[in-house]
Amino acid sequence: MDMVLIAAQSLDGFITKHSEPGTAFTSPEDKAYFRRILAGFDACLFGGETYRVSRDFIRERLPGPALRVVMTRSPERYAAEAIAERLEFTDAAPAALVAGLRARDFKRCAVLGGSHVHSLFFEAGLVDEVWLTVEPVLFGGGTPLLARRAEVGLVLQATEKLGANTLLLHYRVVR
Ligand SMILES: NC(=O)c1ccc[n+]([C@@H]2O[C@H](COP(=O)([O-])OP(=O)(O)OC[C@H]3O[C@@H](n4cnc5c(N)ncnc54)[C@H](OP(=O)(O)O)[C@@H]3O)[C@@H](O)[C@H]2O)c1
């Protein structure tokens, strides 16, 4: 199964502006691109914090993937919010989660943040590609792309200007 990490960040590497949760800082062009590309995935996953911040969007307005998986240490807390085959909550480790999706014949999974989930999947060696939008802003602080130290090599595969000042970078992860 292909695992693609998709994120938008400031030029200095933050996926939130300061302590504001959410992605209000991203450009209209990135928002349109994000909606468009999700159609190419049949599963996607989020961390519990991203789910709590963007609950309505993830539940009701997120286009694309049939299945949304939320990683939480307390899946039982969300039992009333779960929707079979549509919105699932799990405390499975990344390797078990991916093996479970593969066994159910899912083909392409988007890893949609936040930073803790990014780190978990890189640490498990389970990210194949990174699709990164770089917005033309500097924040000097915020939630970083990764929650913990890492050393991951990447090969640049493609670049695109999403808008006058917004760059999209496609990388393949070196294994
Ligand atoms: N710019 C972007 O592209 C982008 C993308 C996504 C998110 N964001 C932003 O990033 C922020 C959230 O990022 P974040 O790093 O704070 O949080 P996060 O990665 O979304 O979620 C962290 C949560 O994941 C769960 N978790 C962590 N380790 C786990 C494990 N080993 N097993 C199971 N569950 C585990 C825990 O949930 P429980 O507390 O429920 O146990 C933890 O609180 C939000 O403000 C969001 O809007 C930005």
130-146 pLDDT per residue, tens: 999 999 999 999 999 99
Rounded CA separation 173/34 (Å): 21
Rounded mean pLDDT of the chain?
97
Rounded CA separation 173/123 (Å): 12
| Ligand 1 binding pocket includes 112 (Cβ within 6 Å) | yes
What are the chain's domains?
2-173 (3.40.430.10)
Model's pTM, two decimal places? 0.98
| Ligand 1 binding pocket includes 116 (Cβ within 6 Å) | yes
| Ligand 1 binding pocket includes 73 (Cβ within 6 Å) | yes
Q: Which of 58-72, 108-122, 156-170 has the lowest mean pLDDT?
A: 58-72
Q: State residue 61's pLDDT score.
A: 87
Q: State residue 65's pLDDT score.
A: 78
| Ligand 1 binding pocket includes 61 (Cβ within 6 Å) | no
Q: Are strands 154-161 and 167-173 parallel, antiparallel or unpaired?
A: antiparallel
Distance from residue 115's CA to the centre of ligand 1 (Å): 6
Mean pLDDT of 67-90: 97
| Ligand 1 binding pocket includes 91 (Cβ within 6 Å) | yes
Distance from residue 118's CA to the centre of ligand 1 (Å): 9
Strand partners of residue 67 = 43
Mean pLDDT of 64-76: 94
Percentage of the chain beyond pLDDT 70 is: 100
| Ligand 1 binding pocket includes 23 (Cβ within 6 Å) | yes
pLDDT higher than 90, residue 88: yes
Nearest partner of 58 among 103, 23, 95, judged by Cα: 23
